[in-house]
Structure 1
Amino acid sequence: MSNVQKNNEAVNIKGSKFMYVWMFLATAGFLIACLFLIINGFKFDSKYSILYLVGGFIFTPFYLYLTLWHLPGLRPGKVLLTIVPGENGTVISKKGTVLIKNIRNIDMVRNPLNLINDIVIETFDDKKVKFRTYNLLDDTEYQVIVDRYIFPFMTENARKVWDRKINLELLRKEENYERQEQKFD
Structure 2
Amino acid sequence: MLNIKSQDSSVHIKGSKFLYVWMLLATFGGLAACVFLIANGLKFDSKYSFFYLGGGILLSPVFLYLTLWSLPGFVPGKVLLSLTEGPNGSVISKSKNIPFTSIKNIRFVRNPLNLINDIVIETYDGKIARIRTYNQLDDTDFAVLVDQYIYPHMNQDAKTVWDRHVNLDQLFEDAKYERKAE
TM-score tier, shorter chain, comes to: over 0.9
What is the distance in 1 between the residues matched to 2:107 and 2:85? Answer: 18
Aligned-pair identity (%): 58
2:31 is matched with which residue? 31
What is the distance in 2 between the residues matched to 1:120 and 1:105? Answer: 8
1:104 is matched with which residue? 104
**Aligned 8 A contact 1:121 1:128 in 2:** yes
Matched, 1:121 2:107: no
What is the distance in 1 between the residues matched to 2:48 and 2:126? Answer: 55
2:64 is matched with which residue? 64
Is the partner of 2:77 in helix, strand or coil? coil
Is the partner of 1:177 in helix, strand or coil? coil
One-letter amino acid of the counterpart of residue 86, structure 1: G
Unaligned segments of structure 1, at least 5 residues: none
Q: Give me the TM-score of the superposition, normalised by structure 2.
A: 0.98
CA displacement 1:7-28 (0-9 Å, x = unmatched): 0000100011111111101110
Is the partner of 1:114 in helix, strand or coil? coil
2:136 is matched with which residue? 136
Q: Displacement, 1:29? A: 0.4
What is the distance in 1 between the residues matched to 2:168 and 2:63? Answer: 36
Q: Displacement, 1:95? A: 3.6
Q: Displacement, 1:53? A: 0.8
1:49 is matched with which residue? 49
What is the distance in 2 between the residues matched to 1:125 and 1:85? Answer: 22
Give runs of ≥4 in structure 1 deviating > 3 Å. Answer: none
2:159 is matched with which residue? 159
2:74 is matched with which residue? 74
What is the distance in 2 between the residues matched to 1:73 and 1:28? Answer: 13
What is the distance in 2 between the residues matched to 1:102 and 1:181? Answer: 22
One-letter amino acid of the counterpart of residue 31, structure 1: L
What is the distance in 1 between the residues matched to 2:65 and 2:94? Answer: 23
Matched, 1:176 2:182: no
Q: Displacement, 1:97? A: 1.1
One-letter amino acid of the counterpart of residue 69, structure 1: W
Is the partner of 1:39 in helix, strand or coil? helix
What is the distance in 1 between the residues matched to 2:134 and 2:95? Answer: 14
Q: Displacement, 1:107? A: 0.2
Is the partner of 1:115 in helix, strand or coil? coil
CA RMSD of aligned residues (A): 0.7
Bigger mean CA offset, 135-144 vs 81-90: 81-90
What is the distance in 2 between the residues matched to 1:36 and 1:106? Answer: 42
Q: Displacement, 1:86? A: 1.3
What is the distance in 1 between the residues matched to 2:19 and 2:69? Answer: 16
What is the distance in 2 between the residues matched to 1:62 and 1:162? Answer: 35
Q: Displacement, 1:88? A: 1.0
What is the distance in 2 between the residues matched to 1:50 and 1:65? Answer: 23
Q: How many residues align?
A: 182
